[in-house]
Structure 1
Amino acid sequence: MLPDESVMSKILLIRGKRVMIDKDLAELYGIPTKRLNEQVKRNLQRFPEDFMFQLTAGEKAEVVAICDHLKRLRFSAALPYVFTEHGAVMLACILNSDRAIAVNIQIVRIFTRMREMVLTHKDILLKLDQVEKRLAGHDEQIALVFEYLKQLLAPPQEPRQKIGFLQ
């Protein structure tokens, strides 16, 4: 099996969805990208818009610029397809091989783990936001305390009249 890190590095965020590019999936499944796309086109009814979509030219250029392992896509005239977690599951159904099933199970587990990590980090970020909001007004109050301390520590500007008994 492949290391989880190598699979995780192939998951991208495009249009607000975590997706994998057809080239990367084909590589993981051990088949040519052309064959993967042929199978998808034969079974288009299994891949609605929320399972798979094709990148625009701008998105393709952005992906190629960001991902070093996809530099060769720059010279391809075809726009790549990307698959969400559900699309990757559906790929395992149409690519009926032991490797496809094993890789698919690993991909689903990684997507699930990533979702759990996001939820955990979301809770932490919400708590940090609450603490930040609570402490936001404290900066002004602390500055005011330091201003009063400076006034107390500064020598008086005018000599004060002495109070008390004269001897």
Structure 2
Amino acid sequence: MSQLQPIEHQGQRVLTTSQLAESFGTDARRISENFGRNLERYKSGKHYFVLSGNEKRSFLDRTQIADSSKNAQLLYLWTEKGAWMHAKSLNTERAWEAYEMLVDDYYRVKETAIDLTGLSPQLQLLIAMEHRQLQIEQKQQEHEQQLATIKETFLQRDDNWRQKINGMLNGAARRSGKSFRDIRTESYQLLEERGKCQLNIRLKNLQDRLADTGATKTKINETNRLDVIEADARLKEIYTTIVKELSIGTLV
């Protein structure tokens, strides 16, 4: 990831669409398309800011942005929470890794230490307690957000889709004389070839994220490759086609 030009709006760090796309290993068009498809999930002022007219010109004069976003009629600026929404939509290893780096190295600017030595011990203690309480509240908010994401993205399964997939695989196995496990393994291998992905690595990353957010050991162990596939719209579409081909192939 190249060095990002720090820009701020309304007291917080933000990224342009071009900066976000470059960080996540995609292009600005994909970011805009994902935003358009999930517009109702985004809130202005929370996930993004949009500038136009004089406000946009004033912002560009102040920040001297040097990427292609400045040429757009509307200038979108993405907050940390907005970047998280886009990482969730892309759901690639590159995007999640980049998001973590952005949180640590860009969005959350290191606070300048304040010299408290001239204050009374009682006042120093009160300040330390207040600072600690703010840290606890921030961690709790992050934890709750992560749990909500896990529940929404991974744990609410499309049972109808899974039933259809397993039904087609069962039928293909029965008609071909192969075991269900062999047919399923073949389908995963074909997906890795066509989708240019490694399911085992993605599954391990998903299980690690579940563990980090406090999911139960049972839930982590129950997570499987179908969870990985279902969470990625592109892989889900490719895999559905593969399973249909396997099922049809046994009828020829």
Q: What TM-score results when the alignment is normalised by the length of structure 1?
A: 0.58
Higher helix share: 2
Matches within 5 A, 1:26-65: 26-49=21-44, 50-65=46-61
Alignment of 1:134-145 (within 5 A): none
Alignment of 1:1-20 (within 5 A): 2=1, 6-7=3-4, 9=5, 11-20=6-15
Number of residue pairs aligned between Structure 1 and Structure 2: 116
Instruction: Please list the CA deviations of residues 127-165 of structure 1 after superposition, one character each: whole Å capped at 9, or x if unmatched.
Output: 99xxxxxxxxxxxxxxxxxxxxxxxxxxxxxxxxxxxxx
Identity %: 28
Alignment check: 8 A CA contact 2:14 2:107 kept: no
Contact 1:51 1:83 in 2 (8 A): yes
Superposition TM-score, scaled by structure 2 size: 0.40
* Residue 91 (structure 2) aligns with: 96
Q: Which residue number in structure 2 is paired with residue 162 of structure 1?
A: none
Structure 1 CA distance for aligned equivalents of residues 56 and 78 of structure 2 = 14
- Unaligned 5+ segments in structure 1 are 129-167
Report the CA distance shift for 1:62/1:109 in structure 2 as closer, same or farther (over 3 A): same
Q: Which runs of 5+ in 2 are unaligned?
A: 119-252
Higher relative contact order (CA 8 A, sep 6+): 1
Distance 2:25 2:64 in 1: 20
One-letter amino acid of the counterpart of residue 38, structure 2? N
Partners of 2:13 and 2:107 within 8 A in 1: no
Distance 1:13-1:68 versus aligned 2 partners, 3 A rule: closer
**Residues 1:79 and 2:74 are matched in the alignment:** yes
Residues in 1 aligned to 2:89 and 2:106: alpha-carbon distance in whole angstroms: 20
Q: CA deviation at 1:46?
A: 2.7
1:77-135 CA-partner distances (Å, limit 9, x unpaired):
x2121111111111100112121111111001124651x32xx35x35x999xxxxxxx
Shift of 1:22: 1.1
> Computing the radius of gyration over CA atoms, which structure comes out larger, 1 or 2?
1
